[in-house]
Amino acid sequence: MQWIKLTDRMPNPDEHGRVLIYTEGHDFNGEQVFDVQAETLNECFYADPEDQPEECKVASHWMPHPSNNGSPNWTGEQKAANALHDLMDALPTGTQTSMTVFRPEVNGQQVGAVKALLMADNSDDLRAAQWVISHGSAKRGVGDE
């Protein structure tokens, strides 16, 4: 599967109930992948366009959700995406979620990318968790005084 620019084509909600969207920068601190309902990408879906989730407003790319393709031969990435989809469906309504990518360093060298699913009751808590992953805890490196 490949990412599709939202400026090239929007997902059809009749074909794709859920999609993965990609953002970079903004308030999300780096690359982010979100699992959303396709219809939420269309601001006309909302009575007030300001009600559209921020991640949908700033998304640049989308791809069909791997669970939508009906393929019996799932790759590891598709199995993980399916598990994420099932988890998200089981979360209470209103729970904020995102998949964040961070690149840890060991001895000053990047050691690859790590993906983490974040969940929070509201978007402010979610942003706070993303900030901690990006910048580190204020308590890290502080000795006992």
Mean pLDDT of the 108-137 span: 72
What pLDDT digit, counting tens, does each position of 74-94 carry? 566 666 776 776 676 666 667
What pLDDT digit, counting tens, does each position of 10-63 carry? 998 888 888 888 887 666 566 778 888 888 888 888 888 888 888 888 888 898
Which one, of 16, 10, 25, 7, lies nearest residue 100 by Cα? 25
Query: Residue 61 forms beta bridges with which residues?
Result: 5, 22
CA–CA gap between residue 143 and residue 139 (Å, rounded): 9
Q: What is the pLDDT of residue 145?
A: 39
Structure tokens at 44: 């006309």
Burial class (CB in 10 A: 0-12, 13-18, 19+), 138: exposed
Kindly report the backbone phi and psi dihedral angles of residue 131, in degrees, each rounded to the nearest multiple of 5, phi listed first.
-65, -45
